[in-house]
Structure formats: structure tokens, C-alpha cells
A = this chain, B = another copy of it.
Amino acid sequence: MAGCGEELKLLGMWASPFVVRVQIALRLKGFSYEYVEEDLQNKSELLLRSNPVHAGKVPVLIHNGKPVCESSVILRYIDEAFSGAEPSLLPADDPYGRAMVLFWAAFIDDTLLKARSQALRGETGEEKEQGRKKAAAAMATLEGVLRESKARFFSGRDGPGYLDIMLGSLLGSMRATEEICGLQTFDPTTTPLLAAWAELFCALDAVEPVMPRVERLVEYAEATQPRTAVSSTTN
């Protein structure tokens, strides 16, 4: 168990949704960890040394001196390296269930995020409009996944799992983007389950203190280059 002689250090940056993923996973498991805020314009030696392949992108989780990079890899590592630490993020003893979760996680990081990126950075108005439509369709698809879970969370339990963290960690950034550019996070009238899930997720003790506030994200985006945070973090 982490906390009993285990050393966990997370190198992060508060505005990165991918860092938020790791924070939520560690807090859900109830692990003690040291959080180190990085200045991405002036990265620490430790960060550069821990993720040399991706030039010091965050998040990096350092466990007893050994670094693990990329949020989706870190989440699985947290689940596997401390087995027995509840809750399980991925369904234990259910290979098919795990495959389904990983499939939908890839859908979030590929299909949904690419659609949103196209909506924001498409070269023409038409391209942006297509991106908006794809993003809305992806959210509608995720509404269906939540409906099929027959629970308030994607995990199918009465608490969050891997997929809840993968999508939920994006909510702060998505809402800030909505504020700045009008790109809707989701439409509560067509995705009522997602709307209720988002409320529930953001109010969790493991989530609320580490989810970046929308006002602060908007302020940060306005004060810096629009892509600073994104280009220095990995998913």
C-alpha cells in the first residue's frame, strides 16, 4: 500500500487535465503523495530527467524513484502496482470488461479530443463546424455508454472508475473552453445522464479540491499563449 514506506511524487501543472487524472486516481485510492508544481517554461531537472522522451511533459509519477509517464499509463500502473487498494479503477477479474473500458478510454482521448481540437483549430469555418458536430456526436455516444452502465457512474458501481476519471478530468478544461470560445461541453437537454454525472463527479471529495476552477483556467488562458498548457502535457 502506498503511504506505508512507499514514496509517490507527482510532477504536474495545475491546469493540465492529464495531471488532474492522476491526482484524482491517487486521491480515490487514498494514497499519500507529494505533489510538485512545475513551471513549464522552466522545467526542473527532475522532470526533464524523468520524461526525456517527451522533453519533460507532465504528468510524471515517480514511485520509489522510478518514473511513469502518460496519464493513461499512470492510471493503470496505480491500479496494478498497489493491487488490493480499493477501489479498483479497471474491473478486476473481468478481461472483457477491462477491454471495453480501454476501448472507451481511447474513444475519449482520440475521437472526442480530436473532434474538439478540430472545432477549435479547424482551418475553415466549415471544418470547425464539422468538429463541433463530431464532438456533440461523441458526447451523445458517451451518454449511451453511461446509460448502459445502469449506474450513476461509468464504472457501473456507485463510485467512479477508470473511465469516469478519463472523462471527468477534462470537465474543468472543457468548461473553460466553453467560456472562452463557446464550444459546448455537452448539451444537458440531449445528454441528461452526463449532466447529472458531471455534477456528481465534480462534487466528489477526491475530485473537488484538484479540479481546476473555470474562472482560473479562463484567466490563465487569457494571460498566456492559448496552447501553452496543452503542448506541454501529454495524455
Contacts and interface: CB of A to CB of B under 8 A. Distances in A.
A182 interface: no
Closest 6 CB pairs of A and B: A80-B95, A81-B95, A77-B99, A73-B102, A68-B99, A73-B103
A99 B74 CA distance: 7
Interface of chain A: mostly helix, strand, loop or mixed: helix
A53 interface: yes
Contacts of A63: 96
A69 B99 CA distance: 9
Contact of A98 (B80, B102, B103, B106): B80
Given A53-B107, A53-B141, A96 B70 contact: no
B106 A73 contact: yes
Contact of A95 (B69, B77, B103, B141): B77
Interface string A80-120: 11000000000000011011001100110001000000000
A73 B54 CA distance: 23
Interface string A54-86: 100000000100101110111011001100000
Contacts of A103: 53, 68-70, 73
Contacts of A69: 103
A81 B99 CA distance: 10
A76 B53 contact: no
A106 B107 CA distance: 15
A96 B73 contact: no
A93 to B, nearest CB: 10
Contact of A96 (B54, B81, B95): B81
A102 B81 contact: no
A98 B90 CA distance: 15
Contacts of A76: 98-99, 102
Nearest to A103: B73
A54 to B, nearest CB: 8
